[in-house]
Amino acid sequence: MDYYQQFPRPVNIRFVNELMPMQMVDIFINDSPAIRGLMVRQVTQPIPIPMGNYNFKVYQSGTNQLLVNQNLQIDRNSLIRIAMEANRVILKVTDDMMDQMMPYGMPMNYGQMPMPQCPQMNQRRDTEVMGQSRIRFINLSPNAPSLDITTPTGIALFRNVPYRATTDYLNLASGVHNLQVREAGTDRILLTIPNVVLNPNDVKTIYAIGLVGGTPMFEVIILDDNIL
């Protein structure tokens, strides 16, 4: 099945654990594990998700003890605070100003894998060829394996791109392209991206977002960098 759209742009959410006394928590989004082992006064990296209504469950870490079960409408970049109020745990949502990062640490385990930094993948030089298009790929799916972007015949445009990595731009002939997202180094196709229209001198970024096998669903969006 294809999960591909040009728009809308995803929003970002972050979580911060404000529970005292100290206790680590696990966070599930729509019953899919998203954060594990979030310690007190730690904040997660931004998680890109489509706008919409989500169910959030917070458990005492490593147990089935449910601390809060709450539905939230997410329509902007949001900081979700896990806090105690009137002797019960609640989720408080505030606008997240990404240029005013809070002085918290990182979670010990994001989903089921460590949280890497954002390495730049020097796979292709960022040079412009007149009349051609340029594309790059950013892997923002926290539980996805390293990914390849390929043609249907298996020719790799981008190889072995881990979570939160950004590739250099690749010059590509203008036209209509069919692409695939594959588990890196394998023939396993996670998504197909049909009918990608690239006009001469277009500059675009392919984003992989969501959760593989979970909710929000794993999908691809393509944004025009010329208008960013």
Structural tokens at position 124: 């292709």
Domain check: are 161 and 201 in the same one?
A: yes
* H or E element that contains 4: strand 4-5
Does residue 19 register a pLDDT over 80? yes
Most confidently modeled of 121-130, 154-163, 207-216?
Answer: 154-163
Q: If you count DSSP H runs as helices and E runs as strands, how many of each does the chain have, helices first? A: 0, 20
User: Which domain does 178 fall in, by range?
Assistant: 116-227
* Burial class of residue 12 in the structure, from the number of CB atoms within 10 Å of its CB (0-12 exposed, 13-18 middle, 19+ buried): middle
Query: Which CATH number does the domain housing residue 27 bear?
Result: 2.60.40
pLDDT in the model for residue 39:
85
Q: Which of 208, 180, 184, 217 is closest to 196 using CA atoms?
A: 180
Residue 9's pLDDT band, with cuts at 50, 70 and 90, is: low
Q: How far apart are CA 106 and CA 207, in angstroms?
A: 23
Predicted TM-score (pTM) of this structure: 0.51
- Do 120 and 93 share a structural domain? no
On whether both 79 and 145 belong to a single domain, the answer is no
Q: Please tell me the total count of domains within the chain.
A: 2
Structure tokens at 87: 């002797």
* Mean of pLDDT values over 54-81: 93
- 223 and 123 in one domain? yes
* Of residues 225 and 82, more confidently modeled: 82
Over residues 41-50, the mean pLDDT reads 80
91 and 15 belong to one structural domain: yes
Q: Is residue 220 part of a domain?
A: yes
The residue from 82, 110, 138 where one domain ends is 110
Residues 92 and 151 grouped into a single domain: no
> Which of these, 120, 130, 139, 146, lies nearest to 220 by C-alpha position?
139
DSSP-derived secondary structure for 148-189: EEE-TT--EEEEEE-TT-EEPPEEE-SEEEEEEEEETTSS-E
Residue at 24 is within a domain: yes
